[in-house]
Amino acid sequence: MRQVRGLLDPSFLRRKSPTEPVILDPPSTPKCRHLHFRFAREPWERQGYCDLRREIFCEEQSIFEGTDRDEHDADALPIVAVRNRMGVGDEVVGVVRIDERVPGVWWGSRLGVAEPYRKLTDFTAHNVFEDEAPLRFSSVGATLIYKAVSSAHAFGAQRFFAHVQRQNVPLFRRLHWDSIEEVTLHGRLHHKMEADLLCYPASTLLQERALQPA
């Protein structure tokens, strides 16, 4: 109904004078308030995962040139935030990946959110846990972090790390991460940080072990 109301909104009809023709402007795409957080399985989800990573880390931030893929992609599990309209997922709006680099030690990386959704706070998060009960989080990025760490915890993680760009460190600290040291990666200052697993109860999505890297 919200989309229909938008289409019928008279503000989309612009006319400077009675003699000028009516101009019908297409309505802007509204932000969807229902997002699903899950491991990317479908081909379009995996493609959207790769495309959004390239858009953020290559085109927007210019950290990489051409592609941001690296040696960890061979084993990493891709997690996506999917916009859901009328019960159907249609666009990847957030990404993160997790991988186990030594037994019991997991890492998260390539956390990114599509620009229109970075400041979105009024949304419902679906599929964070197996029972699919909708949850509320402060941001799309925070939900991706929670999904990543709680999933790795379920897979047996005893420690969980990430290299976090300096501007994002306050967010991670609010989410119960500790800064271990500062490091320079790709010419930018990062913090090596560790999640407090006591604050991230293991999800029950153990069937996700059958997933394949993107």
- The residues spanned by each domain of the chain are 34-210
Q: Are 52 and 114 in contact (CB under 8 A)?
A: yes
Q: How would you label 141-171 residue by residue, b for 16+ Cβ within 10 Å and e otherwise?
A: bbbbbbbbbbbbbbbebeebbbebbeebbeb
Please give the C-alpha separations between residue 118 and each of 77, 88, 122, 140, in angstroms, as whole numbers: 22, 21, 11, 7
The rounded percent of the chain whose pLDDT value lies above 90 is: 66
Enter the DSSP assignment of 39. E
pTM over 0.75: yes
Give the Cα separation of 200 and 108 in Å (integer): 14
Strands (E) across the chain are located at 13-14, 23-24, 34-39, 77-85, 88-102, 105-113, 124-126, 159-165, 177-185, 188-195
Q: Quick: pLDDT tens for 79-104.
A: 999 998 877 788 999 999 999 999 99
Give the residue from 56, 54, 46 showing the smallest Cα distance to 140: 56
Question: Which one of 3.40.640.10, 3.40.50.720, 2.140.10.30, 3.40.630.30 gives the CATH number of domain 34-210?
Answer: 3.40.630.30
Confidence of residue 211 (pLDDT cuts 50, 70, 90): low
